[in-house]
Amino acid sequence: MRRNIVAGNWKMNKNFSEADDLICAIQDELANVDVCDVDVIVCPPYPYLELVTDASEDSDFYVGAQNVAHFDDGAYTGEVSASMLSAMDVDYCIVGHSERRKYFHETNKDIAEKINRLIARDITPIMCVGESLEERENGNHFDVIRKQVEEGIFHLSAEDMQRCVIAYEPIWAIGTGKTASKEQAQEIHAFIRNLIVEKYSDDVAQEVSILYGGSCNPKNAKDLFSMQDIDGGLIGGASLKAEDFIQIVKSF
Ligand code: PEP
């Protein structure tokens, strides 16, 4: 059965000592929270992964990376492989974030390759999809999302598909303070779940958590998470403050 998930994406923020303070504060806040009904994931930048995996040993959260190479190993300067992440006890990895699609020109094909490498190492991919404002205003958002899902992840077997998480992140809502309404988000989440039903089965679709991302905060999280097909959130800005992040975790 699909799990409720709240994942914090720190992006390229915090120096080492700030990262240390943040993870300690998250640990302190989490100590007073019942997390039976929700999986909490912290996704720091690569250099802080060890700090965060060490902290996770005494606390109730999982660790995610923000990216992975679409190659196995070799002469790819600056890249980090799925086997390296696995050796660091990373549980999840974000792939296909709109910032990577935009600034690093990641294609659906690259994303599919990354997902294969993560699955091979038992790391759960959190695949991001989402439309731009222009695409929504032109009424193309369903087609854009269908293509991202079909080309990014639908090559997987049913068994592997059930191990994945999808995050719907409308680009116009990321870091803008402009959240999708719960109805807008639910409509797309239901659309994605239905794509999974059509491609695989209802049983598979019921195993895949679909998260909402885009200016999710302690004020709007409860409303968003109350919707039938919204299984939690991928949180950017609000994950950089332990109190706000844990408030979102408590929204379930
Ligand atoms: C994100 O980038 O994944 C994100 C959801 O950012 P924010 O919460 O800051 O909009």
Q: What average pLDDT does the segment 177-187 reach?
A: 95
Measure 215 CA to ligand 1 centroid, in angstroms.
Answer: 6
Percent of the chain topping pLDDT 70: 100
Amino acid in the structure at residue 19: A
Residue 189 is among the residues annotated as catalytic for this protein? no
Q: From the alpha carbon of 215, which atom of ligand 1 is closest?
A: 10
| Alpha carbon distance 138, 149 (integer Å) | 20
Ligand 1 atom 6 nearest Cα: 236
**Average pLDDT value for the chain:** 97
Question: What pLDDT band is residue 107 in, cutting at 50, 70 and 90?
Answer: very high
pLDDT at 35 over 90: no
Q: From the alpha carbon of 167, which atom of ligand 1 is closest?
A: 3
CA dist 80 to 19, 108, 148, 207, 233, Å? 20, 19, 23, 29, 25
Q: What average pLDDT does the segment 116-126 reach?
A: 98
User: For a substitution probing ligand 1, which of 93, 215, 220 has the most ligand atoms within 8 Å of its CB?
Assistant: 215
Ligand 1 atom 4 nearest Cα: 236
pLDDT at 162 over 90: yes
Q: What is the pLDDT of residues 59-71, one digit of tens each?
A: 999 999 999 999 9
Residue 105 is among the residues annotated as catalytic for this protein? no
Find the catalytic residue in 106, 131, 135, 169: 169
DSSP string computed for 139-186: T-HHHHHHHHHHHHHTTS-HHHHTT-EEEE--GGGTTTS-PPPHHHHH
User: For a substitution probing ligand 1, which of 99, 216, 224 has the most ligand atoms within 8 Å of its CB?
Assistant: 216
DSSP assignment, residue 114?
H
Other residues' Cβ atoms within 10 Å of the Cβ of residue 180: 24
Measure 174 CA to ligand 1 centroid, in angstroms.
Answer: 5
Q: What average pLDDT does the segment 181-195 reach?
A: 98
| Alpha carbon distance 125, 167 (integer Å) | 10
Measure 175 CA to ligand 1 centroid, in angstroms.
Answer: 5
3-state SS, 197-224, equals: HHHCCHHHHCCCEEEEECCCCCCCHHHH
Measure 97 CA to ligand 1 centroid, in angstroms.
Answer: 10
Percent of the chain topping pLDDT 90: 97
Contact 158, 201 (CB under 8 A): yes
pLDDT of residue 21: 98
DSSP assignment, residue 237?
G
Question: What pLDDT band is residue 36 in, cutting at 50, 70 and 90?
Answer: confident
